[in-house]
């Protein structure tokens, strides 16, 4: 590990000042510390933000407001989360391990780095790690890589489970930085790789995630998160889907769907959603809509199976959401 200095921030202002001057934020450190050990990440300054007052989770009417430093475990078991947005709890419990969930924070989870194996191989080309070094996954192992949003520079997926649920829920995030506060959809946090895959998010220098707001609604409880993976625990998604349905007399008023494991960022399936509006909530409707998820998809040698698995996962997630009692 490369030597570094550590500052403990006593206020949000102190933390932002340190980050604006070049320090990296660290909270749970479940991704960053691993990458520092492997010398994939080499920050020379860290600012510890664990003492900041960002650990509050509360209901605001039917909305949820989740502080950025709330741990995954605390969020997953919180009574208001289970009451208002159980799909968030479901997605969180499908991710990582109990030990990691006890440390990892909600804000940090959204900013985790890719699990593409080449990202951690210092002797392999990876444009995320080293711009213009190439993408080894193009002609190498790409079985768990993306089929949506890819470019000739990067095929890597985003690993977060709860981000998929938050995108489907139209959650927003509050950030604070040297230029003040701003709020924007969680979906807009993530960048497509394009020619600059090393630029993964839209935060400005020094900006700190302070909270996530999840709007309530009549469809909040009729929602499920389905994760398909190679083993039953401590594994990243091959394909996942968060599905929400607003039904009236068996007819779909509104559907919201997002997928993980298939895109270079959590992928909102708006064409599928539009195709479901006004349709009966049955398998025929689900299958017709799910086929639209393939628009623009491009498989590589090792992940062609996702072209079948992605729509099948969407169909099953919709069935699970429909059957919520």
**What's the pTM?**
0.98
16 domain-assigned = yes
**CA distances in angstroms from 57 to 9, 159, 167, listed in the order given:** 21, 24, 19
Separation CA 251–CA 217 (nearest Å): 17
Residues 6+ apart with CB under 8 A from 91: 161, 162, 164, 165, 225, 227, 242
Domain range holding 35? Answer: 5-51
pLDDT digits (tens, 9 = 90+) for 73-109: 999 999 999 999 999 999 999 999 999 999 999 999 9
pLDDT confidence bin for 321, thresholds 50/70/90: very high
pLDDT digits (tens, 9 = 90+) for 7-27: 999 999 999 999 999 999 999
- pLDDT of residue 170 exceeding 80, the answer is yes
257 domain-assigned = yes
30 domain-assigned = yes
Q: What is the pLDDT of residue 103?
A: 98
Residue 229's domain is classified under what CATH number?
A: 3.30.390.50
127 domain-assigned = no
Residues 6+ apart with CB under 8 A from 278: 251, 252
pLDDT confidence bin for 305, thresholds 50/70/90: very high
Q: What percent of the chain has pLDDT over 90?
A: 97
pLDDT digits (tens, 9 = 90+) for 262-300: 999 999 999 999 999 999 999 999 999 999 999 999 999
249 domain-assigned = yes
In DSSP terms, 176 is beta-bridged to 181, 208
**CA distances in angstroms from 310 to 90, 252, 269, listed in the order given:** 19, 21, 11
Residue 29's domain is classified under what CATH number?
A: 3.30.43.10
End-of-domain residue from the set 16, 32, 51: 51
165 domain-assigned = no
- For residues 109 and 160, the answer to whether their CB atoms sit within 8 Å is yes
Separation CA 183–CA 63 (nearest Å): 15
Q: What is the pLDDT of residue 217?
A: 83
215 domain-assigned = no
pLDDT digits (tens, 9 = 90+) for 45-81: 999 999 999 999 999 999 999 999 999 999 999 999 9
The count of domains in the chain is 2
CB neighbour class for 238 (10 Å; exposed up to 12, middle 13-18, buried from 19): buried
**CA distances in angstroms from 199 to 158, 205, 304, listed in the order given:** 13, 12, 27
pLDDT confidence bin for 238, thresholds 50/70/90: very high
């Amino acid at each position: 590990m490369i030597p570094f200095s550590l500052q403990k921030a006593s206020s949000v202002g102190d933390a932002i000042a340190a980050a604006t001057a070049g320090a990296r934020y660290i909270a749970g450190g479940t991704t960053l510390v691993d990458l520092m050990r492997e010398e994939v990440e080499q920050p020379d300054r860290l600012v510890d933000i664990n003492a900041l007052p960002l650990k509050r989770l509360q209901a605001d009417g039917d909305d949820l407001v989740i502080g950025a430093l709330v741990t995954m475990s605390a969020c997953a078991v919180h009574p208001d989360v289970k009451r208002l947005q159980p799909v968030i709890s479901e997605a969180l419990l499908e991710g990582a391990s109990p030990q990691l969930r006890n440390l990892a924070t909600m804000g940090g989870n959204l900013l985790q780095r890719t699990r593409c194996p080449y990202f951690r191989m210092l002797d392999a080309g990876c444009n995320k790690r080293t711009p213009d070094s190439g993408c080894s996954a193009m002609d190498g192992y790409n079985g768990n890589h993306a089929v949506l949003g890819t470019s000739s520079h990067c095929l890597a997926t985003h690993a977060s489970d709860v981000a998929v649920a938050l995108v489907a829920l139209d959650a927003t995030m509050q950030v604070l930085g040297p230029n003040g506060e701003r709020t924007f959809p969680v979906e807009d946090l993530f960048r497509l790789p394009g020619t600059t895959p090393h630029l993964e998010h839209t935060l400005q220098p020094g900006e700190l995630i302070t909270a996530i707001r999840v709007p309530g609604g009549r469809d909040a409880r009729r929602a499920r998160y389905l994760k398909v993976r190679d083993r039953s625990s401590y594994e990243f998604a091959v394909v996942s889907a968060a599905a929400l349905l607003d039904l009236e007399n068996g007819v779909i008023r509104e559907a919201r769907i997002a997928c993980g494991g298939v895109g270079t960022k959590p992928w909102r399936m708006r064409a599928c959603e539009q195709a479901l509006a006004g349709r009966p909530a049955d398998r025929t409707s689900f299958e017709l809509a799910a086929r639209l998820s393939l628009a623009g998809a491009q498989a590589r040698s090792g992940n062609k199976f996702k072209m079948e698995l992605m729509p099948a996962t969407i169909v099953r997630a919709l069935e699970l959401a429909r059957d919520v009692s």
